[in-house]
Amino acid sequence: MTSLPPLSLTRLTLTRFRSYPALDLDTAAPILVLAGENGAGKTNLLEAISLLVPGRGLRGARMAELGHRGSGDAAGGPWAVAGRFATPLGPLSLGTGVEDPSATRRSFRLDGAAPRSQAEIASRVAAVWLTPQMDRLFLDGASARRRFLDRLVWALEPGHAREVAAYDTAMAERNRLLAEARDGGRIDPLWLASLEDAMARHGVAVAAARRVLVARLNAAVAGGVAGAFPAAEASIACTLDSALAEGPALDAEERFRAALAEGRAGDAASGGARQGPHRADLVLTHVAKRLPAPLCSTGEQKALLVGLVLAHAALIGAQRGAAPILLLDEVAAHLDRPRREALFDVLPRLGAQVFLTGTDAGVFAPLGTEARLLRVRPGEVRPEAGWPGFAAAQDGLRGV
């Protein structure tokens, strides 16, 4: 079997998480296939891994939804996820969870101690994922595509999260003041101008980071890092992106600051700022067909998204010296045989540890000895010799 990628999850431990009362799993393999029936707990395993990096995980679930619910259990409860990683800087242990089921945020432990910030974790461990819910990316509203875009940026620029949060905080306070003014209240014009200045500074920083990511992503896709998957060209529909295309960031800040000041009355009437990075939309186009992604077939949309995620993983690997862990949930759905073969061809060459899920283990047989097959059943994970060459790779696995 191929050696482990530079960044790899070598062990996963769950305590009262989702459908698992407890689990201790050896995951030291470059590619792991999690096969099982619907509802067996495959996606729960990927979600657990996704929670070992900053963010809300691949489901965006609330903390109270993550605790184990066995027969007779009350809703939720304390839960924990822990991982042992091999990294370019040496091994590390990372854990997350909640002790209080009413908590709205989870805590982290990095090598047994509280990290200075979540950015410290993001600088050491990265993961990207693709789920069936993301197949609706081209059909849902712009907010879903913005979240997707920002997650791509965060993986390369952990500080982007702080800029987004600062912008959102200033915008929310400005919205509150404008609502008070609309209802006859008195507001401090200097405070309002200060909030608009913060929105301009942080908003342009957000837009600039997105713009840089999209340019790099398009270059990676054009360079063929996603193998035989169709190329998707990305662009951003946003007034700030257009301003940055026309001139320096300081000019874009000044124009946005002036637009906010001039638009106070209209923003108060509409209930919020009518322009800014919070209104941006990610636009994807099938390059070969020059067709907007929403007009492509379901299979083409899936292929475009897979290619985009693979290109993003390659970008992270090039920048950080280690590709992120890839979590691909039911990725074979809507992919025809040639595209599945294209996926299985490119995965071993990415230099990333990959977790794949599916109901039919036979679909993944072309991966051969590159992969380890794990059979998932409610509450447990067991090795299975699904195709020739797997038997020798099954040592060290223990499910509880």
Binding-site residues for ATP: 36-43
The widest CA-to-CA distance across the chain, in whole angstroms, is: 75
- The span from the CA of 29 to the CA of 364, in Å, is 15
- Residue 268, helix vs strand vs coil: helix
Annotated binding site: 36-43
The number of helices, as runs of H, and strands, as runs of E, in the chain is: 10, 14
- The answer to whether the CB of 370 falls within 8 A of the CB of 378 is no
- The span from the CA of 330 to the CA of 340, in Å, is 12
The torsion angles phi and psi of 159, rounded to 5 degrees, stand at -70, -15
Residue type, 297: S
The torsion angles phi and psi of 81, rounded to 5 degrees, stand at -130, 135
Sign of CA dihedral 285, 287, 288, 289: positive
Query: How many residues are recorded in the chain?
Result: 400
Residue type, 393: A
Residue type, 284: L
